[in-house]
Amino acid sequence: MADSEADKPLRKISAAFKKLAIIVNSPNPEVPVTQFSHACSLVSPLFGCLGIAFKFAEMDYVAKVDDLVRASSSISTLVVMMDKDIEADCVRKAGSHTRNLLRVKRGLDMVKVLFEQIIASEGDNSLKDPATKSYAQVFAPHHGWAIRKAVSLGMYALPTRAHLLNMLKEDEAAAKIHMQSYVNSSAPLITYLDNLFLSKQLGIDW
């Protein structure tokens, strides 16, 4: 029996982020915490597929997304969520929704760069180069030496490209389409989130 659409994580990710892109590209974007956190939760299995090198990212990302999912039951939009933290003077405190949002945004950005690199390295069965570049660009500047070293060692245990596609239940052609779709949809979302932090004078490098 063929795998159903529901069993194919890349397709679910692609569809969810297309909807978010429509919102952030609208004249007065208001991103619902419920919709955002649900889309982000669909990305979580990707980190698990990458093995030990991204174990830290998986654990951190999943925990932060879970917090946003819980917050969505009582907070309507990302702007409202941020304003509440600013009002409570807890933006930079560990566990604040806004701090967690910044960490989740980095996870989305890393996956975007990873997909860009995988698409660009067509024909290469190793994921080491795409994974190394995406980590170096997005996460490394925020990590201490010990984590960077652990990730570097973990890169040798990455799955092959073929194995990754097998785990995602996609062939090369379909995977490329859905990865590119995520790249296209996540770019305006990441820009929106960066601008949101900057507009509130919170910065994005902490």
CA separation for the pair 127, 119 (Å, rounded):
11
Domain of 59?
31-199
**Would you say 106 is a known binding-site residue?**
no
Q: What pLDDT digit, counting tens, does each position of 86-130 carry?
A: 999 999 999 999 999 999 999 999 999 999 999 999 889 999 999
Q: Is 97 one of the annotated binding-site residues?
A: no
Q: Is residue 9 part of a domain?
A: no
Phi and psi, residue 105, nearest 5°: -60, -40
- What angle do the packed helices 172-199 and 97-120 form, to 10 degrees? 140
Residue indicated by tokens 């062939």: 171
Within-domain flag for 14? no
161 is in an annotated binding site: no
DSSP 53: G
Residue 64 assigned ligand-binding role: yes
6 in a domain, yes or no? no
Out of 30-39, 50-59, 68-77, 169-178, pick the least confident. 50-59
Structure tokens at 195: 């601008």
> Is position 99 annotated in a ligand binding site?
yes
Residue 57 lies in a domain: yes
Where residue 194 sits, what CATH number does that domain have?
A: 1.10.3520.10
Mean pLDDT of 70-86: 97
